[in-house]
Structure 1
């Protein structure tokens, strides 16, 4: 087996050559070269890694897509050889540019990745070659396409063997097809690459943008860094920054190039931060202006309530405001006290599909942020982020304030219709 491994490695080296510090490869009549697309960290504002991409020219000098090159391959053995050839070429071109503190992202064909379970000696020899070239394994990130991760035990074994070399694993194209978090929990990738399709949908819908932010937060809870790929415009870069992704990749920050970028702070990332600051300042000011009357009205309701006045009377100023949904009172355990009060004379068409939620009876809201925050800061009016209310299943924000009445702690809450339709 050792002789076979050395023969395989020798054949791969016979297919690549170096001239003026640039390595090229040959596969049949095709010429292969490397391009590297930078991967930026928003906090660091510079490239922290590069994805290696193969560029292909046929015998007539015409450019071919990598997909068409692999489609020409006639057997699995040749597919494995071509996949290894591309990675060997990329490693040499990356090392030649003396990138000292960057990751190298390498795509691995799914079938080849699983096949590593039967090629332990070849894997060990490949790791040895990489070390000899001066590239520590912890700076290699192997990308595996998300849609091929099945329950196959061979795949999980391949993950264990790859991770044992010291490399990082990136789950690619998450968000396409049948993506699910079960694969994240089982495989535990160090990096999850979100597909561009999630970005384009989030650009068209505020609701999807909020979902994207929550998805990023959940992936962080799973212990993964999140990379959003396909970022092409400044507006998309702002959305990525707002969603709290860790890493970004796309034409907005750099096209693939044979040469690695300098480590200087990126002007494109700086522009994204400037746009982020400007828009968040504007949104904060707009939201504060929108919510200020509700804050004031809720605070004014405290004295009448402490004097024992009815809820409808105490909250009259709040309920007269446009977009006011309802007011309700909670005890120290988050249970509703008395009847909810809603604006009078305002026609509201209730969705009968959610009628069971309207007849919930003794509802308890102790786990809601508006309750917990109010209890933690008695007397201070609190404001939530937009969320889906169980009252009519509409997006709302809630203002709340905790206060003492007759020696008992109470929390007064007012819901505001935030006016975000499903497609917004």
Structure 2
């Protein structure tokens, strides 16, 4: 059933703190009669491939990887893929074949990460296997994190050490749009649960930048190296990574300087509207061409009740919208920040990015107290301009 000789190949993980190789993932390839290597991945996704053949292939690759890893630098770790569906077929007290291989290899378990793939398998049996891996001294990772909602339950149940972002989701997110916010939220969740993040499929500089924004501890992908039967030296990509990191830092510094300049414009606009009397239109609405990022302006009282109409930007004019008079926005996260910081410091406060229900745009809200702290002057801003 296997068209070729099974070969273990290795793709490095780059440590974002040093640019050095921190470890490798073992992957399965089949060497054809012509010597060309082909991925064994399609065999695992083909329902016609017998499970027994896949188990033999999996164990053969794992055995080769452990044997070759004995020649790797002592500070590297080895990531081995483990299928939950095979774990759940084991008898309750049956030893884990992967642990038996590890023990026979003489590789220190602390240098091994067992990477749980797929979404199949019963949680109770899988949780027991994870406990056994940890008892042996190994770490545990969840692969393709974000590919399915059920993985959130799996993270809570297994409490992994490492999360590998789903490659397709990560690459889509690196292009921007709603998926980028999803991946940032997943990365933030991982940080709060004490997990390290691995971003795989890093093929472009833009994708590396996004991985760094998400706080990835390790990156993996063709931007640095394709899977290979041999190991690279630990510092093979240090110079390349340093150049990419320096460009990323320079870009982020430029973005920050731009944001500071934009905040000055926002502050100037708020100052110009600070004399807005209650129950009357603003004395002078801002020129729409001067503030293309401005969506609307309005006032709330200190309890979060909207006390003026919205003045909504529409093309090159302003429209008055009284539908939200009396609505209470105190439950919004930005409101707590404005009240706690803005009143004491009499300065502009900006919220994080959120999706505006009226315009369907990604927005942020800026505001400050006016009228001796009696009212909040607020403006909603198109986040794409920032």
Could you say if the C-alpha distance between residues 318 and 259 of structure 1 is closer, same or farther in structure 2, counting changes exceeding 3 Å? same
Could you say if the C-alpha distance between residues 192 and 419 of structure 1 is closer, same or farther in structure 2, counting changes exceeding 3 Å? closer
**Mapping of 1:229-308 within 5 angstroms?**
229-264=200-235, 266-302=238-274, 304=275
Segments of 5+ residues of structure 2 without an aligned counterpart are none
Contact kept? 1:228, 1:240, Cα under 8 Å: yes
Question: Which residue of the partner structure matches residue 5 of structure 1?
Answer: none
Contact kept? 2:9, 2:227, Cα under 8 Å: yes
Q: 1:51 aligns with which of 7, 11, 25?
A: 25
Contact kept? 2:171, 2:201, Cα under 8 Å: no
Q: 1:329 aligns with which of 299, 306, 327?
A: 299
Distance, in Å, in 2 between the alignment partners of 1:197 and 1:121 is 31
Q: 1:384 aligns with which of 343, 346, 351?
A: 351
The secondary structure found in structure 2 opposite 1:252 is coil
Contact kept? 1:398, 1:414, Cα under 8 Å: yes
Question: Which residue of the partner structure matches residue 12 of structure 1?
Answer: none
Is residue 2:65 matched to residue 1:90?
yes
Residue 323 (structure 1) shift: 3.7
Distance, in Å, in 1 between the alignment partners of 2:43 and 2:179 is 36
Q: Deviations over 1:322-363 (max 9, x none)?
A: 44332233344434344444459826699xxxx9xx558431
Question: Which residue of the partner structure matches residue 128 of structure 1?
Answer: 103
Question: Which residue of the partner structure matches residue 101 of structure 1?
Answer: 75
Is residue 2:123 matched to residue 1:156?
no
Deviates most, 163-172 or 116-125: 116-125
Contact kept? 1:374, 1:380, Cα under 8 Å: no
Distance, in Å, in 2 between the alignment partners of 1:187 and 1:361 is 47
**Mapping of 1:111-122 within 5 angstroms?**
111-116=85-90, 117-120=92-95
Distance, in Å, in 2 between the alignment partners of 1:297 and 1:49 is 52
Q: Deviations over 1:185-221 (max 9, x none)?
A: 2222221111221133224333322332122112222
Is residue 2:168 matched to residue 1:197?
yes
Could you say if the C-alpha distance between residues 87 and 349 of structure 1 is closer, same or farther in structure 2, counting changes exceeding 3 Å? farther
**Mapping of 1:360-399 within 5 angstroms?**
361-369=326-334, 371-373=336-338, 375-377=340-342, 378-399=345-366
Structure (1/2) with the larger helix percentage = 1
Distance, in Å, in 2 between the alignment partners of 1:164 and 1:181 is 24
Residue 143 (structure 1) shift: 1.4
Distance, in Å, in 2 between the alignment partners of 1:73 and 1:322 is 58
Distance, in Å, in 2 between the alignment partners of 1:309 and 1:121 is 72
Distance, in Å, in 1 between the alignment partners of 2:70 and 2:219 is 23
Question: Which residue of the partner structure matches residue 138 of structure 1?
Answer: 110
Could you say if the C-alpha distance between residues 252 and 419 of structure 1 is closer, same or farther in structure 2, counting changes exceeding 3 Å? closer
Contact kept? 2:298, 2:306, Cα under 8 Å: yes
Deviates most, 55-64 or 258-267: 55-64
Contact kept? 2:84, 2:117, Cα under 8 Å: yes
Could you say if the C-alpha distance between residues 93 and 381 of structure 1 is closer, same or farther in structure 2, counting changes exceeding 3 Å? same
Segments of 5+ residues of structure 1 without an aligned counterpart are 1-26
Residue 241 (structure 1) shift: 1.4
Residue 93 (structure 1) shift: 0.4
Residue 49 (structure 1) shift: 1.5
Aligned residues: 378
The TM-score normalised by the length of structure 1 is: 0.76
Contact kept? 2:297, 2:380, Cα under 8 Å: yes
